[in-house]
């Protein structure tokens, strides 16, 4: 298996623009997690899905953030409108349970 | 609020020495414990997990768990410069996904 796939790997955008991050989990994994990592706050869980259903989105910072998982092999994290404080590395991880998680390579987002 | 605490470091050890990385957690009901290694600019990589009290060895790595003290550690024997990375401790309590510490930065000096 190719592991968790994320795109794009790098994204530079201007404040106010819409940003869409994409993730393909490992085949057969029922759980998908979106994280944000910054130096100040470390790794933060934003939202996670089980069998394509959002289970806990309490980590989503505000209404500008939304996530969907239309099928077992694809998920998106959208930020609209983006702000400079959203600049971070966004990771997607997948798992066959909630504990043993495997991370994708991440998307480095810079909002100018 | 479930918390996982790690010393941010940097922890500097000479090549060939044993590196000891420590982690404490707040939820006494925690069930499983994980160590991830993260190289600069890369994603976290799972290197060890432990469920039961005691030691678990895998090559140069040993995970140690003491549930009574709510303490988990990672020992790296014969440390190499390639072990220089940030090590993240993560804890699973059953009701919520993994809770991660902020990581300890390890530097192995040649």
For B14, other C-beta atoms within 10 Å of its C-beta total 10
**CA distances in angstroms from A45 to A17, A76, B71, listed in the order given:** 23, 15, 23
Express each pLDDT in A16-41 by its tens digit.
999 999 999 999 999 999 999 999 88
Report residue A29 as tokens.
Answer: 């994994």
Q: Is B59 helix (H, G, I), strand (E, B) or coil?
A: coil
Question: Which of B23, B37, B43, B95 best probes binding to A when mutated, by most A CB atoms within 10 angstroms?
Answer: B43
Express each pLDDT in A47-97 by its tens digit.
999 999 999 999 998 899 999 999 999 999 999 999 999 999 999 999 998
Q: Is the pLDDT of residue B93 over 70?
A: yes
Segment B63-73 mean pLDDT? 96
Q: Is the pLDDT of residue B96 over 90?
A: no
What is the sign, positive or negative, of the torsion defined by CA atoms of A75, A45, B96, B106? positive
Which of B42, B43, B92 minimises the CB distance to A98? B92
Residue A1 pLDDT class (50, 70, 90 cuts): low
Question: Which of A43, A49, A59 best probes binding to B when mutated, by most B CB atoms within 10 angstroms?
Answer: A43
**CA distances in angstroms from A31 to A24, B43, B68, listed in the order given:** 12, 18, 30
**Given phi > 0 = left and psi -120 to 50 = alpha, else beta, which region is B94?**
left
């Amino acid at each position: 298996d190719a592991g968790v796939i994320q795109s794009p790997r790098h994204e530079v955008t201007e404040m106010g623009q819409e940003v869409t991050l994409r993730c393909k989990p490992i085949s057969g994994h029922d759980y998908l997690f979106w994280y944000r990592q910054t130096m100040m706050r470390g790794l933060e869980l934003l939202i996670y899905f089980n069998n394509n259903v959002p289970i806990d989105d309490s980590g989503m910072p505000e209404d500008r953030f939304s996530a969907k998982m239309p099928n077992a092999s694809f998920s998106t994290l959208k930020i609209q409108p983006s702000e400079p404080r959203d600049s971070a590395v966004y990771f997607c991880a997948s798992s066959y349970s909630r504990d043993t998680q495997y991370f994708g390579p991440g998307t480095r987002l810079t909002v100018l | 609020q479930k918390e996982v605490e790690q010393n941010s470091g940097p922890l500097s050890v000479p090549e060939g020495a044993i590196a000891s990385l420590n982690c404490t957690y707040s939820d006494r009901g925690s069930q499983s414990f994980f160590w991830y290694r993260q190289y600069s600019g890369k994603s976290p990589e799972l290197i060890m997990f432990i469920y039961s009290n005691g030691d678990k060895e895998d090559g140069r790595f040993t995970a140690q768990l003491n549930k009574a003290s709510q303490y988990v550690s990672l020992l790296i024997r014969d440390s190499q410069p390639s072990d220089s990375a940030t090590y993240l401790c993560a804890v699973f309590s059953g009701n919520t996904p993994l809770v991660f510490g902020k990581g300890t930065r390890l530097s192995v000096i040649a």
